[in-house]
Structure 1
Amino acid sequence: MDPVVSLTPHYMVKSKSPVDAGQAPNASYIKFDVPPTDSFRKNEEERIFTSFKESMVQVWQGPGKLDLTDGMGNHVNVDTVKSLPPRPFEMPDGWNQVFGIERFRVAEGLFDAKAALTDDSHPTPDQKHTITSMVQAALSAVDVEIRPTLLNNIVLTGGGSLLDKLAERLHGELSALYPNPRVRVHASNIVTDRKYGSWVGGSILASLGTFHQVSFCLSLCCATRY
């Protein structure tokens, strides 16, 4: 049975006392005459998830998959990960845990569909939906002559790209698939640039004087097609 993780937003915690890892929190909570809305609580819970993702979740950078086995059935990479120092994480109410290999399993489904964490609402994804497979599909849709240029200009952006070692894993997998062209993955070291890069790029595109012409052409093509 999986342990129950306490998920209480900061604004609800009045005070807390230290507890051992995995133990129930020892905290007192604020009572509101008019409780905040469900949407506000959901937003605050999302902030906790974001903090966990950006500070704890780590991508196995290879070589190979996290659950790669040798000829004798030994999970060689898993054994390597288990030898790494674990990382602690504390929730706003004091509940805390030390995470080892679990922090790598969260992101492994981005590269290996069989390793994705699933439940009744989230079935196992197709391998074609992994990051590496989608890059392959994008490359196969363009002329062979420009594929080396695209492989040399892969840009990681968005909040999900902040996963630790994501750029290194993607670079390793693509380099194994395309050994001859030079693979280069660009990922800004500035968190805000990387987190909001896609929005900034979209705003720059929309501010161009020629954007209305591009958007008109796209609308006309869609109207003609459908």
Structure 2
Amino acid sequence: MKKNLPEVTKSYHGHMVQQVIEDMQSAILQLSDTPIDVETAEKLPAAPFEFPCGYSKEFLAERVKIPEGLFDLSYVKNCNPQTLMTVAQVASTSIGMCDIDIRASLYSGLIVTGGNSLMQGFVERLNHDLVYKCPPSCKLRITAAPTPLERRYGAWIGGSILASLGSFQQMWVSRLDYDEVGKSIVEKKCP
């Protein structure tokens, strides 16, 4: 540990820890295109990572086993598999809950966004797992933003664009309206 460092607030420290985790996630962790074979994972070359404090560590098989929990719940310790879903299950269940007429277009227009999508091989692995869940009549197409910044903040960017549209402003529900009418106001304003 480095000595004589200035004191920082708890929130700043938490933010910086989160930054290190995100950097490590995108630099070290990787998913294979198919479910991993433990013997193959053990033979992968080490990937070094240097922490801000100067400590350096080489990561071996754990760099593919850790993210595998997103696609195979047997890698998640102390969990009940009946209460959790894999990423592919979340996507196919969400699409399955939509109107049957739009399911094919949803499968052909999946957009991957968020921090976990920055892991190497995430899109390819999701594609592999969804092929088995997608109806054979549907064409599966998964896209992701080309830059890490767009991928990480894609939902926020899309939300800000949507909120700035004039047609969407008519659907806004104010706190006063919600308090006056209740949750049924959402169904009235957003048919």
What TM-score, normalized to structure 2? Answer: 0.83
Cα distance in 2 for partners of 1:171, 1:104 equals: 17
1:210 aligned residue: 167
CA RMSD across the alignment: 2.6
Q: Is the 8 A contact 1:127 1:133 kept in 2?
A: no
User: Please, which moves more after superposition, 160-169 or 87-96?
Assistant: 87-96
- Give runs of aligned pairs for residues 16-31 of structure 1, distance below 5 A: 28-31=2-5
Match of 1:129, SS state, is: coil
With over 3 angstroms needed to count, the CA separation of the structure-2 counterparts of 1:88 and 1:205, relative to structure 1, is same
One-letter amino acid of the counterpart of residue 117, structure 2? S
Cα distance in 1 for partners of 2:75, 2:21 equals: 20
- Give runs of aligned pairs for residues 27-66 of structure 1, distance below 5 A: 28-32=2-6, 35-62=7-34, 65-66=35-36
- Give runs of aligned pairs for residues 85-100 of structure 1, distance below 5 A: 85-100=45-60
Percent of aligned pairs with the same residue?
29
One-letter amino acid of the counterpart of residue 193, structure 1? E
Alpha-carbon distance, 1:212 to partner? 2.4
Alpha-carbon distance, 1:223 to partner? 3.2
Runs (5+) with no aligned partner, structure 2: 187-191
1:111 aligns with 2:85: no
Runs (5+) with no aligned partner, structure 1: 1-26, 67-76
Q: Is the 8 A contact 1:112 1:127 kept in 2?
A: no
Cα distance in 2 for partners of 1:168, 1:132 equals: 12
Match of 2:110 among 144, 154, 165: 154
Cα distance in 2 for partners of 1:184, 1:206 equals: 27
Alpha-carbon distance, 1:224 to partner? 5.7
Deviation sequence 1:148-191 (CA, Å, 0-9, x none):
21111000111221111110000011112224421111011211
Match of 2:97 among 131, 134, 141: 141
1:222 aligned residue: 183
With over 3 angstroms needed to count, the CA separation of the structure-2 counterparts of 1:126 and 1:111, relative to structure 1, is farther
Alpha-carbon distance, 1:128 to partner? 4.6
1:174 aligns with 2:130: yes
Deviation sequence 1:11-59 (CA, Å, 0-9, x none):
xxxxxxxxxxxxxxxx542243xx2212111211111111111111111
